[in-house]
Amino acid sequence: MHESPLAGIVVVELGDSASAPFAGQILASLGAEVWKAERPTGDSSRGWGPSIWRGDGAAFHAINRGKKTIRADLTDAGESDRLRRLIVEHADVFLHNLRPGSAARHRLDADSLRSDAPELIYCELGAFGHVGPLKDEPGYDPLMQAFAGIMSLTGEADGPPVRAGVSIVDFGSGMWSVIGILAALVRRGRIGAGATVNSSLLETAIAWNTIAIAGFHADGDPGSRHGSGVAFIVPHRAFPTADGDLIVSCANDPLFAKLAAALGHPEWSGDPRFATNAARLANRDELERLIGDVLRTGTRDHWRAVLRPHGVPAAPVQTIPEFVAHEQTAALGIIGPPPDRDDIATVGLPLSFDGERPGPLHSAQPIGANDADLDHLLTHREPTPGDER
């Protein structure tokens, strides 16, 4: 890729934990110059364990690469003013996930900043959203998975509510924020005006429940837990094999017919109990028992070899070490160390442009590593009327 999509765009990120820092890293991966402002004690994720790398949590290294890092003690008038100047005089985008009310206390709210920088894209990533009776409440990923019903649909049918094993709400909120920022930048290029973009953990959690919400409004069914499966497709779950679990997915009737033939039971596709997805849903337990009985007789690799020629989607349930070492993962080249020194392996941007993935980002920096750069920037460049930030 000859030029990064966001080359020349300056972003100031006042993010903590996961959601806003993840958004900042996406923007950095796309070529933006991202200044990460941290309180003197650092981003919370610097202290997240148990995995530690060079004194900070591996989580911090995972989502804070490619950024310039400055200290910003908002309780210190000088440091707060320095941050505000960086935003007003130089930034195209300001991104934060401060607790409700905190931005306004430090004159970092949208009205204050955009009155001085009308072309600024201001993105606030909140917890429960920017309106409503809970708008001032703090929140984290598991709270939103609980509040928005995700946990009511996650886990085994007879088990307790389960949080998704990865921070889908945090990372999803970061992605939605980036989508909003990019859309606002396109709009600014067209009409010359900035925008205030609001996203939140709760709105993201609600969005992930799009299908379940539609189902509830269609027939009043609140949904239920199906373990590795889903409510609306059968078969579409993990089945035990002789050496581990294998996900088999047949999202339509022709695929089920191919599965039945591959497993040596072509009669299943003509059986009235199983011929259509609606019939398979009504007879889920019986069909899954029959499929499970067959799959237990061979290994995961055996069944993948059997199913592949028939075009039946299937994948082994792998551990992190297994999929990291897999040849497909290696072929994608998405996992690797930063280019600047021998460092922890991290995940690159899951996008390619003209067949080329954006290059790896430099390592996450210590708190205040670029304070001198910021002081030089603010000292040696004074804005003039009409000057582009």
Among residues 170, 219, 245, 301, the one annotated as catalytic is 170
**Cis preceding-peptide flag for 235 (omega within 30 of 0):** yes
Calpha distance 317→296 (Å, rounded): 15
DSSP type of residue 303 = H
Those residues with Cβ within 8 angstroms of residue 304's Cβ, 6 or more apart along the chain or in another chain = 246, 314, 315, 316
Those residues with Cβ within 8 angstroms of residue 237's Cβ, 6 or more apart along the chain or in another chain = 226, 227, 228, 229, 230, 247, 248, 288
**Cis preceding-peptide flag for 50 (omega within 30 of 0):** yes
Task: Tell which residue, 89, 205, 189, 192, has the closest CA to residue 147.
Answer: 205
Residue linked to tokens 């609606």: 278
Q: Collapsing DSSP states into helix, strand and coil, what is residue 310?
A: helix
Sign, Cα dihedral of 188, 190, 193, 198? negative
Strands ordered across the beta sheet of 236-241: 236-241, 244-249, 314-316
Sign, Cα dihedral of 44, 27, 195, 19? negative
Calpha distance 243→225 (Å, rounded): 25
Q: Is 16 a catalytic residue?
A: no
Q: Collapsing DSSP states into helix, strand and coil, what is residue 239?
A: strand
Q: How many residues does the chain have?
A: 389
Task: Tell which residue, 321, 317, 316, 320, has the closest CA to residue 304.
Answer: 316
Calpha distance 9→93 (Å, rounded): 8
Calpha distance 370→373 (Å, rounded): 5
Indicate which residues carry an active-site annotation.
170
